[in-house]
Amino acid sequence: MTKWKTLILAAAAALSLAGMAAAQSINAAGATFPYVIYSKWFEEFRQAHPSIQINYQSLGSGAGIQQLTAGTVDFGASDMPMTDEQIAALKVKPLHFPTVLGGIVPVYNVTGVSQDLRFTAETLSGIYLGKISKWNDPQLVKDNPGVKLPADDIVVVHRSDGSGTTFVFTDYLSKVNPQWKSQAGASTSVKWPTGTGQKGNEGVAGMVKQTPGSIGYVELIYASQNHLTYGMLRNSAGVFLKADTNTVTAAAAGAAKNMPDDFRVSITNSPGKDAYPISSFTWLLIPSQIPDGSKKKAIVDFLNWMLTTGQKDAAGLGYAPLPKEVVTKETKQLALIK
């Protein structure tokens, strides 16, 4: 009796081991901003392809690049394109696949102002440089006719934690303001000329909410999920518009004509009258050579699925979907995975 039991147990164990071996487990790590949609994608894809399990750790873009460099993950994810220096550190060159887009919006708390405020490249960079320090600055008054701006001091709030959001925001400021470029530059953390730092979107939003006269910047998805009011920005075509999934996608479409073949491109201050100026891709970083055939097939299948079916999930979760031009171009890049 016990002999039979042991035999059955052993057989069951062997079978389950075989079952595990047949399943393809893929590990990835990186950006936190797209985590919500990535976890939904990986789950939906697993339901469609039960043998493929993709595990994603949202550790931050920097950590994603590090883990890819160290070879501890099958692919990485980042809110900013890898630099040449970072790519040089990799044995296998990575391919950048944009997945969705995000926008960054200014949030503020100005006493007596309930309308959407209008900002331009000049006023926003002036505020963050500390050159515009009062809400009734003539430039702000000129851009906001009919709004009674108080004579209060502007309290500048920025992110204190290293973040892709800060990278995109400072990338925009660097493009539109030469002084910002030379003084602070664009990075996940910069040397802020003025203001106080708060951790995370929630920290910035919380500080702005309770501090009269303050201004901060948060991700569009965070602002819309929490029903925050946010300002309009003037884009490179001179049109004031609010960020939403349409205007952010339009920014990518505007940049698509001049898109480099490796997709390493910043789309802040993008051309086009519908293009929201502080927009960005987020990327998957896929090694260009995947020796394991079944793993390669699983990853390529996923990318194909992500570029077609997956894109339909984006808008519902607050992410802007890729424009058609970019999807077509990315589909071609799939052939480069060897």
Partner 1 sequence: MASSTIPAGTATQTRGIWSRLRTGDEVAHLVTLLFAASVVLMTLLLLIGLWTTSGPSQAKFGWKFLFSTDWDPVAGSFGALPFIYGTILTSVLALAISVPLGVAVAIFLSELAPPRLANACAFLVELLAAVPSVIYGLMAIFTVVPLLREYGEPFLKAHFGYLPIFQGPMLGIGFLAAGLVLSIMTVPYIIAISRESLMAVPRDQREAALALGATHWESTSQVVVPYARLGIFGSVFLGLARALGETMAVTMVIGNDPSIHASLFASGYTIASVLANEFTEATGKLYQSSLVELGLVLFLITIIVNALARLLVIATSRKGTGHSA
- Catalog residues that contact partner 1 under the rule CB under 8 A: 59-63, 65-66, 83, 85-86, 153, 155, 160-164, 184-192, 195-199, 203, 206-207, 210-211
- Residue 159 phi, psi (nearest 5): -75, 140
275 burial level (CB within 10 Å; 0-12, 13-18, 19+):
buried
Alpha helices in the chain (DSSP H): 2-22, 35-48, 61-70, 84-88, 121-129, 138-143, 164-176, 178-183, 200-210, 220-225, 245-256, 293-307, 324-333
| Residue with Cβ nearer partner 1 (183 or 304) | 183
| Residue with Cβ nearer partner 1 (188 or 270) | 188
Give me the least distance between CB of 232 and partner 1, in Å please.
26
| Residue with Cβ nearer partner 1 (85 or 261) | 85
| Residue with Cβ nearer partner 1 (189 or 333) | 189
| Residue with Cβ nearer partner 1 (66 or 268) | 66
Give me the least distance between CB of 60 and partner 1, in Å please.
4
Give me the least distance between CB of 71 and partner 1, in Å please.
17
293 burial level (CB within 10 Å; 0-12, 13-18, 19+):
exposed
Give me the least distance between CB of 274 and partner 1, in Å please.
31
Query: Following DSSP, what letter does each residue of 85-130 receive, concatenated?
Result: HHHHT-SSPEEEEEEEEEEEEEEEE-TT--SPPEE-HHHHHHHHHT
Mark 74-87 as b/e (b = at least 16 C-beta within 10 Å). Answer: bbbbbbbbbeeebb
Give me the least distance between CB of 59 and partner 1, in Å please.
6
First to last CA, the chain: 53
What's the CA angle centered on 259, arms 255 and 260, to 5 degrees? 155
| Residue with Cβ nearer partner 1 (47 or 210) | 210
Under DSSP, is residue 1 helix (H, G, I), strand (E, B) or coil? coil
Give me the least distance between CB of 189 and partner 1, in Å please.
5
| Residue with Cβ nearer partner 1 (27 or 211) | 211
Give me the least distance between CB of 161 and partner 1, in Å please.
4
For residues 256 and 308, what is the distance between their CA atoms, to the nearest angstrom? 18
